[in-house]
Structure 1
Amino acid sequence: MSSTTMRAIASYRGLPIDDQESLQDVEVPVPRLRPRDVLVRVQAVSVNPADVKTRIGLPATAEPRILGYDAAGVVEAVGPETTTLTVGDEVWYAGDITRPGTNADLHAVDERIVARKPVSLTFAEAAAMPLTTITAWETLFERFRLNADSTGTLLSLGGAGGVGSIMIQLAKELTGVRVLVSATRPESQSWVRQLGADEIVDHHHLVASVEEVAPKGIDYLFSPHSRGNIEAFAQIMRPFGHITAIDEPEGLDLLPLKAKSIAWHWELMFTRSIYQTDDMIEQKRLLEAVATLLDDRRLRTTLTTSVNDFSAAGMREAHRLVESGRMTGKVVVTR
């Protein structure tokens, strides 16, 4: 490889993960920097359900499509208008859905969505966190507008997953709400209890199990799986409650929520970078705040599985684990 090319892991079309061609080792040009970019030498990346969904849905393309969102690494170069980071900084971030991904030796990303990584965490421990942390933070503090004085009951569905694993911690550490989560397998239940969940419910019997531990209902609900659940949500929510969803089921009918004046919010952590919003730098700021909480041992990494093989084979293994639907916490691919 010359200094103008680099190794990356890419896909040319959506294929099952057991197909060797679903993710391939390729050589591509080193990315060019935009004025406010940093060039990061990637040390570790995590795989999220968003990565899997993107890979499966890829249309056929002649150009290699580099996937990957979460990353931790070291700044190797900066654009001419960069002011907040410098060469040598160790950073973490969740990437940008409109640009080539992080599954590469080098990655270009806007400084406004990149923060210095927690000093107490390894690159792998840090890479597990950004996308899910931003999703959970924006849900709790921007959609639900919770703060240290907030009370009431929060239900996080899929509590042992990546978003749930950090949402439990943020809610317990930074708000006064009671935290309920759904978890069914024994290892999932053990994990969410370690993270501070107050009560565990069963999403297979959502209404009955919620009524048992929260008879007065739920004030705030986080939903990664909304299809077929709206009637149940309408039953368990209190009047004037708030729901935030991250999925996009077709033809979703929200009318059952109207009688209780329940508010429905969407959360997509890529909105700021897609639209280059005026407050795009808020993602840097929240990652900085969370880095401090991690370094102060008030939060812990959600990394549970490391694949020490930064290649197409290692990445396929990580995707396989996420696709299984049985992951507790997060899986990271590291060098």
Structure 2
Amino acid sequence: MKAIVYNTPGLPIQDAQSLFEHDLPKPAPGARDLLVEVKAIAVNPVDTKIRASRSGDGPQVLGWDAVGIVREVGAQVSLFQPGDEVFYAGAIDRPGTYSEFHLVDERIVGHKPHTLDDASAAALPLTSITAWELLFDRLGVQENGGDGQRLLIIGAGGGVGSILLQLARKLTHLTVIGTASRPETQAWVAELGAHHVIDHSASIALQLEQLKLNPVDYVISLTHTDAYLAQIVDVLRPQGKLALIDDPAHLDIVPFKRKSLSVHWELMFTRSLYQTEDMIKQHQLLERVSALVDEGVIKTTVGEHYGSITADNLKRAHAVIEGGKAKGKIVLEGF
């Protein structure tokens, strides 16, 4: 089968060997696996981070978002059957989705929304899981809850922010404040439902005070958390909560003590990495997201469609993400 791979981590994306086409054997499903024929994928920051750091025996396949058709199922599979259209974000400790065929555990897979084409659906799984777990599992916000409370999302214009805004607006009563620094991302954040949009390149506290929204109950930080940490402490209400997804070089939470603030770190791969007892929750939440899309409650967060799944198009996508200029999700479709 065709796959887009790399051998040497850390190469600049312009290097011919940073990503290249390669033939690999078609895999066979394990007991709870689906063998999926991949139709569309999305590119995420985790793709670029793994390419920069992970080495292994043989070619490495990136990719943690896919839409496809189930072609074979393992002996213990009960949730899907051949022919089903599915979407999912995969597992970080298994080969990725930059390949014609891919194995994935059924417990982290959902049925693709009927109302979306393959590329539009591919934008949703990883960010939907991350956003859902941030809001409902890590921060403990209740659906239809949050009356009188405020959520600040730092870096709201990216992939996770784009779906998080919608979930917070449609499924809770929180007042949602999103940050973005460029006119195009500010417009995107407003379009996706933020009650208020502020600029994280200026004083966050001052802007919240001008809006009469300081302090806030929750902060979800999606980028450069260490750079904003002092401001986060400043604007959080005593006993408030911070959730983050990025990888700060340093994260000194000693200043959190005075306000009894709590910190919650989200990694959507935790359940699959540790085969947790509640691993099937990712299947359940993807099924819920699929239904919400089909009901018109939330929409896809595609930013740009880069064409077919080739090494050159993936390099282009990696370059945009590494440059911090992505708006929404970058998707590719077809081998």
| Structure-2-length-normalised TM-score | 0.96
Whole-angstrom distance in 2 between the partners of 1:161 and 1:228 = 17
Q: 1:160-171 maps to which residues of 2 (within 5 A)?
A: 160-171=157-168
Q: 1:42-121 maps to which residues of 2 (within 5 A)?
A: 42-59=38-55, 61=56, 63-121=58-116
Q: How many residues align?
A: 329
Whole-angstrom distance in 1 between the partners of 2:90 and 2:167 = 21
Whole-angstrom distance in 2 between the partners of 1:214 and 1:84 = 48
Whole-angstrom distance in 1 between the partners of 2:171 and 2:78 = 30
Contact 2:87 2:111 in 1 (8 A): yes
- Range with greater deviation from structure 2 (202-211 or 176-185): 202-211
Whole-angstrom distance in 1 between the partners of 2:28 and 2:210 = 56
Distance 1:214 1:255, change over 3 A: farther
The equivalent residue for 2:317 is: 318
The structural deviation recorded for 1:250 is 3.2
Contact 2:120 2:300 in 1 (8 A): yes
Contact 1:211 1:236 in 2 (8 A): no
Equivalent of residue 201 in structure 1, options 198, 201, 212: 198
SS at match of 1:81: coil
Cα deviation, 1:90-121, whole Å, max 9, x if unaligned, reads 00000100000000000000000001010001
Whole-angstrom distance in 1 between the partners of 2:325 and 2:210 = 26
Whole-angstrom distance in 2 between the partners of 1:146 and 1:77 = 38
Contact 1:12 1:58 in 2 (8 A): no
The structural deviation recorded for 1:156 is 0.8
The structural deviation recorded for 1:34 is 1.2
Q: 1:246-265 maps to which residues of 2 (within 5 A)?
A: 246-265=245-264
The structural deviation recorded for 1:210 is 2.6
Distance 1:263 1:62, change over 3 A: closer
The equivalent residue for 1:284 is: 283
The equivalent residue for 1:241 is: 240
Cα deviation, 1:43-97, whole Å, max 9, x if unaligned, reads 01100111111112233x5510000000000000000000000000000000100
The equivalent residue for 1:3 is: none
- Range with greater deviation from structure 2 (311-320 or 105-114): 311-320
One-letter amino acid of the counterpart of residue 276, structure 2: T
1:138 pairs with 2:136:
no
Whole-angstrom distance in 2 between the partners of 1:214 and 1:275 = 43
- Range with greater deviation from structure 2 (84-93 or 181-190): 181-190
1:172 pairs with 2:166:
no
Contact 2:205 2:214 in 1 (8 A): no
Whole-angstrom distance in 1 between the partners of 2:4 and 2:114 = 28
Contact 2:226 2:250 in 1 (8 A): no
SS at match of 1:16: coil
- Range with greater deviation from structure 2 (171-180 or 138-147): 138-147
Contact 2:208 2:214 in 1 (8 A): no
Whole-angstrom distance in 2 between the partners of 1:32 and 1:275 = 22
One-letter amino acid of the counterpart of residue 326, structure 1: K
Whole-angstrom distance in 2 between the partners of 1:215 and 1:265 = 23
Equivalent of residue 40 in structure 1, options 36, 41, 58: 36
Whole-angstrom distance in 2 between the partners of 1:212 and 1:39 = 53
Contact 1:230 1:257 in 2 (8 A): no
Q: 1:288-307 maps to which residues of 2 (within 5 A)?
A: 288-307=287-306
Return structure 1 stretches of 4+ with deviation > 3 angstroms.
none
1:24 pairs with 2:37:
no
Whole-angstrom distance in 1 between the partners of 2:212 and 2:244 = 21
Among all aligned residue pairs of Structure 1 and Structure 2, give the percentage whose two residues are the same amino acid. 44
The structural deviation recorded for 1:169 is 0.3
| Structure-1-length-normalised TM-score | 0.96
The structural deviation recorded for 1:214 is 4.3
